[in-house]
């Protein structure tokens, strides 16, 4: 479902029912749209050079494990050492849902990471926690689109249990040189329900969730965690289910920000004074 509050809540992908079950959540109150809204997909987090991992430059919820990345710059950068990089992270959970290759000649499910002109590393957990993340695939920059197959150490299956209800956390990190002034494709593919590698769709993808909301000190960082919401009036990140969905703003109740598109960022401002005020807040928070 694109949103639990939308009329398309029962829509599923081409392979049948998604990880959320046969339907969406029937909400009766406006607050539930904020508390229970959990669209399928993954979290794409982008950091421009110089990278500050506590302050993302962009956060997007993707419906499939594929994105065309282009870091535009107003100035022409020259990096003689080739060490300056922009970073993209795909974060989330993969639900196998009894996925199997379509061909009997392929003994088990296969997974690959794909990118162009960039360093790529996939860390895949053997459960739904970050405690067991391990490097399962990587490759160095190639001039053209390139894919690396994912393997666990000692021949362990990619997914110990593929049945419904089991999910596996992943962190797919791609580092793109700043001098690469062209679109870079970033994808996660597998052989589920196919004889060829295909992009993983939303039926099997769940947004990253952790619940450690207090560690975030800005809106975009806060919303990399689907369990959290941002209060603009006091610049705090709260657990959506653990606090009221309202926070005070100019003496009135306002909803927590729960989608990254609604975060206030520098590019929202056209006047220097307004932009400077946002930058001042960020500096004070850090």
What's the token pair of residue 243?
């606090």
Q: CB–CB of 146/185 below 8 Å?
A: no
The residue ranking higher by pLDDT, 168 or 269, is 168
Is 143 found in the same domain as 55? yes
Q: Which of 207, 242, 265 delimits the end of a domain? A: 207
Is 170 found in the same domain as 54? yes
pLDDT of residue 100: 83
Q: Of all helices (H) and strands (E), which one includes residue 94?
A: strand 85-94
Q: Which of 160, 185, 207 delimits the end of a domain? A: 207
Structural domain includes residue 276 = yes
Is the pLDDT assigned to residue 52 strictly greater than 90? Answer: yes
Is 234 found in the same domain as 173? no
Is 155 found in the same domain as 130? yes
Structural domain includes residue 36 = no
What does the chain come to in residues? 286
Structural domain includes residue 129 = yes
Q: CB–CB of 43/91 below 8 Å?
A: yes
Q: What pLDDT, in 10s, does the model give residues 88-142?
A: 999 999 999 998 887 777 778 899 999 998 999 999 999 999 999 999 999 998 8
Number of domains making up the chain: 2
Is 96 found in the same domain as 69? yes
Structural domain includes residue 162 = yes
Is 175 found in the same domain as 89? yes
Structural domain includes residue 236 = yes
The residue ranking higher by pLDDT, 15 or 23, is 23
Q: What pLDDT, in 10s, does the model give residues 201-231?
A: 999 999 999 999 999 999 999 999 999 999 9
Least confident residue range of 30-34, 247-251, 275-279:
275-279
Average the pLDDT over 46-61 and give the result.
Answer: 94
pLDDT of residue 29: 78
Instruction: Please report which confidence band the pLDDT of residue 270 belongs to, taking 50, 70 and 90 as the band edges.
Output: low
pTM: 0.86
Percent of the chain with pLDDT over 70: 82
Domain of residue 155, residue span: 42-73+81-207
Cis peptide leading into 50, omega within 30 of 0? Answer: yes
Is 161 found in the same domain as 145? yes
Average the pLDDT over 136-155 and give the result.
Answer: 92
Is 244 found in the same domain as 111? no
Is the pLDDT assigned to residue 57 strictly greater than 70? Answer: yes
Structural domain includes residue 22 = no
Is 145 found in the same domain as 197? yes
Structural domain includes residue 196 = yes
Is 53 found in the same domain as 173? yes
Q: Which of 187, 207, 227 delimits the end of a domain? A: 207
Average per-residue pLDDT for the chain = 84
Is 244 found in the same domain as 129? no
pLDDT of residue 8: 40
Secondary-structure percent of the chain, ordered helix, strand, coil, rounded to 5: 15, 35, 55
Q: Of all helices (H) and strands (E), which one includes residue 281?
A: helix 272-285
Instruction: Please report which confidence band the pLDDT of residue 25 belongs to, taking 50, 70 and 90 as the band edges.
Output: confident
Structural domain includes residue 203 = yes
The residue ranking higher by pLDDT, 134 or 79, is 134
pLDDT of residue 251: 72
Instruction: Please report which confidence band the pLDDT of residue 279 belongs to, taking 50, 70 and 90 as the band edges.
Output: low
Rounded Cα gap, residues 205 and 243, in angstroms: 27
| Rounded alpha-carbon distances, angstroms, from residue 21 to 41, 67, 70, 193, 224 | 15, 26, 35, 19, 24
Looking at residue 16, the DSSP 8-state letter turns out to be B
Is 195 found in the same domain as 60? yes
């Amino acid at each position: 479902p694109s949103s639990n509050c939308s009329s398309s809540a029962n829509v599923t992908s081409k392979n049948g029912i998604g990880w959320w079950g046969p339907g969406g959540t029937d909400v009766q109150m406006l607050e539930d749209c904020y508390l229970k809204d959990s669209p399928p997909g993954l979290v794409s987090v982008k950091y421009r050079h110089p990278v500050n991992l506590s302050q993302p430059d962009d956060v997007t919820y993707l419906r499939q494990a594929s994105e065309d990345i282009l870091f535009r710059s107003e100035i022409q950068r020259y990096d003689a050492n080739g060490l300056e990089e922009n970073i993209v992270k795909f974060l989330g959970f993969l639900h196998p849902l009894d996925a199997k290759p379509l061909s009997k000649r392929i003994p088990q499910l296969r997974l690959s990471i794909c990118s162009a002109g960039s360093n790529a590393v996939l860390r895949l957990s053997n459960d739904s926690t970050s405690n067991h993340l391990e490097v399962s695939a990587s490759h160095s920059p190639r001039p053209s689109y390139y894919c690396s197959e994912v393997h666990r150490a000692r021949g362990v299956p990619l997914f110990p249990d593929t049945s419904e209800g089991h999910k596996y956390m992943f962190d797919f990190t791609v580092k793109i040189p700043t001098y690469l002034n062209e679109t870079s494709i970033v994808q996660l593919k597998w052989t589920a329900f196919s004889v060829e590698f295909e992009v993983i769709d939303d039926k099997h993808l769940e947004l990253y969730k952790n619940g450690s909301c207090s560690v975030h000190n800005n809106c975009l960082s806060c919303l990399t965690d689907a369990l959290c919401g941002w209060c603009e009036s006091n610049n705090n990140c709260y657990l959506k289910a653990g606090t009221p969905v309202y926070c005070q703003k100019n003496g009135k109740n306002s909803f927590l920000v729960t989608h990254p598109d609604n975060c206030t960022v520098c590019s929202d401002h056209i006047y220097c004074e307004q932009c400077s005020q946002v930058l001042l807040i960020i500096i004070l928070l850090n």
